[in-house]
Structure 1
Amino acid sequence: MFEFFAGLNPVYQALLAGLFTWAMTAAGAAIVFPCRNFNRRLLNTMLGFAAGIMLAASVWSLLIPSMELSGEWGSLKWVPAATGFILGAGLIAGIDRVLPHLHIGFPRETAEGIKTSWPKSTLLILAITLHNIPEGLAVGVTFGAIASGQPETTLAAAVTLALGIGIQNFPEGIAVSMPLRGEGFSTFKCFWYGQLSGLVEPLAAVLGAAVVVFAMPVLPYALSFAAGAMLFVVIEEVIPESQLHGNTDYATFGALAGFLIMMILDVALG
């Protein structure tokens, strides 16, 4: 099975990896079927865990390879990494200011972006969708990077990142579907909207892989672009949400555990 996967074009590999990360979001959203409520402390711990994974992935899977490739290709190591990082964070920051959305657990009046009368459920879904775009790009860029043939860009490293993103998508699916349940939505609608928020990941993964494959010189910039976008989301959204209900110690230890596990996975498997 792995040999078949390894023989595919990197764009197809990115599509399959993106579908896996979406499926993990859907699996988390499906928790709404057996559970009407979910322990808030556990959810905050899991969101912290997701933040830790994204932080570690941004460093080991994206920024460090970006700098190593830049050095091998004759550039100053920090220039493409810093440039892409600023562009990635800046793009998501710009979308964040325009796109109407509401972070999970916050009251309706704190919605960000252009003011609108859209229902709270729509704003929640848009927030998670915005969150998932950088994750899909990160997965796609690492698979597209395989075409470069560089030792820093291996299939094992790309699969490790996809695995880490998939693991942290599980609590995100819960974090969407459960609040909708509290808003009075039917169980099926809670699941539907929860998994729908992750559907953008395979699309973003294909886009990221295609850009890198067809324009290989942008690879160091693309890697750091995805890192900047992910870190903006972590700092602006995931960490505040994980600590919103006072479970700060649990969320913090969850983040440390996620960071440690992703670091170990990336070094040991990547």
Structure 2
Amino acid sequence: MDWFITLHPVLQALLATIFTWAVTALGASLVFLKKDMNKNTLTAMLGFAAGVMIAASFWSLLAPAIELAEATDVPGWIPAVVGFLAGGVFLFITDKLLPHLHPSLNGDNGKKEGIETDLRRSVLLVLAITLHNIPEGLAVGVAFGAAAAGFPASTVASAIALAVGIGLQNFPEGASVSLPLRREGFSRFKAFAYGQASGIVEPFAGVMGAALVLSMRPLLPYALSFAAGAMIYVVVEELIPEAKVERHNDIGTIGAMIGFTVMMFLDVALG
């Protein structure tokens, strides 16, 4: 651990997001073991991912943003509110413009979103998960940048905890791309390639986030809040509806409770 702490924060962010990408690939690798996954299992995994992202948004991003703002004599609610809403607006606009297709637990073809395009369904599925991974990579990068700023509210340990939590919830995201593609007749290797490709954006977003806050430290509370808002948008827009595709099925809810608890433990106990 000591060797990692001594690294430049941008390099820390790069290595951490390579880890989160690797877990996405690990989830996608399930396609080599099975062609499909039990719906309840995938529901629980999506609920877990939602719980992790909700907890991370507060414990790892919003709470430190408020503390950092108050340490510089700025009312804590200003960057929290402005950054949080800006993150949601960014994802809303991107969701409307970027052509993508959300994977569905119903087994149907899903609904195409964004501008009209002739891109294949496989590409649209990858773009949907890639859209989710932008704020996740950004959050990890901003967290390491915040730790380098020297504020007590943000530490390298808490940034590592965030990366671990994001990595855990990336597992079902990789599977949610590769398994549907396998059902559609793709070869195992090709389905895996598409599934892991959905996480490749995270190292880029992580490096960008860390570099941004290091060069413009006054924006740090806003950047943390921005990442939180973007992540919550993904949770409410996609993960929760998919985890509750069967209205009275509590599996997704239980998964979310467990995910929230795991991320809260990682950040509070270890961070």
| Same-fold status (TM-score > 0.5) | yes
Distance 1:245 1:125, change over 3 A: farther
Written as runs of structure 1 = structure 2, the 5 A alignment for 1:106-125 is 107-108=108-109, 110-125=111-126
Q: CA deviation at 1:3?
A: 1.1
Contact 1:81–1:220 (Cα < 8 Å) also in 2 = yes
Contact 1:103–1:241 (Cα < 8 Å) also in 2 = no
Partner of 1:102: 101
Counterpart of 2:113 in 1: which secondary structure? coil
Question: Given residue 55 of structure 2, which amino acid in structure 1 is its aligned partner?
Answer: A
Q: CA deviation at 1:186?
A: 0.5
Asked whether 1:187 is paired with 2:200, we answer no
Asked whether 1:67 is paired with 2:86, we answer no
Partner of 2:82: 83
Partner of 1:175: 176
Q: CA RMSD in A?
A: 1.2
Contact 2:136–2:227 (Cα < 8 Å) also in 1 = yes
Q: CA deviation at 1:183?
A: 1.1
Asked whether 1:35 is paired with 2:34, we answer yes
Contact 1:14–1:143 (Cα < 8 Å) also in 2 = yes
Contact 1:103–1:111 (Cα < 8 Å) also in 2 = yes
Asked whether 1:229 is paired with 2:240, we answer no
Q: CA deviation at 1:245?
A: 4.8
Partner of 2:136: 135
Contact 2:103–2:110 (Cα < 8 Å) also in 1 = no
Contact 1:41–1:247 (Cα < 8 Å) also in 2 = no
Contact 1:132–1:197 (Cα < 8 Å) also in 2 = yes
Q: CA deviation at 1:47?
A: 0.6
Contact 1:96–1:113 (Cα < 8 Å) also in 2 = yes
Q: CA deviation at 1:4?
A: 1.0
Cα deviations across residues 142-199 of structure 1 (Å, max 9, x unaligned)? Answer: 0011121111110110000000000111111111110111111000011000000000
Partner of 2:251: 250
Structure 1 residue runs of 5 or longer lacking an equivalent are none
CA distance in 2, matches of 1:117, 1:248: 36
CA distance in 1, matches of 2:110, 2:161: 39
Question: Given residue 18 of structure 1, which amino acid in structure 2 is its aligned partner?
Answer: T
Partner of 1:126: 127
Moved more, 100-109 or 29-38: 100-109
Cα deviations across residues 68-111 of structure 1 (Å, max 9, x unaligned)? Answer: 11111100110011111111110110000011111111644621
Moved more, 260-269 or 5-14: 260-269
Q: CA deviation at 1:25?
A: 0.2
CA distance in 2, matches of 1:151, 1:127: 36
Asked whether 1:153 is paired with 2:154, we answer yes
CA distance in 2, matches of 1:246, 1:29: 27
Partner of 1:17: 16
Partner of 1:51: 50
CA distance in 2, matches of 1:135, 1:155: 17
Contact 1:133–1:201 (Cα < 8 Å) also in 2 = yes
Contact 2:45–2:172 (Cα < 8 Å) also in 1 = yes
CA distance in 1, matches of 2:93, 2:264: 30
Structure 2 residue runs of 5 or longer lacking an equivalent are none
Contact 1:26–1:195 (Cα < 8 Å) also in 2 = yes
Q: CA deviation at 1:248?
A: 3.0
Q: CA deviation at 1:117?
A: 2.4
Q: CA deviation at 1:247?
A: 7.0
Moved more, 210-219 or 235-244: 235-244
Matched-pair identity in %: 57
Figure out how many residues of one structure are paired with residues of the other and give that number.
269
Cα deviations across residues 242-268 of structure 1 (Å, max 9, x unaligned)? Answer: 222557310011001101111111110
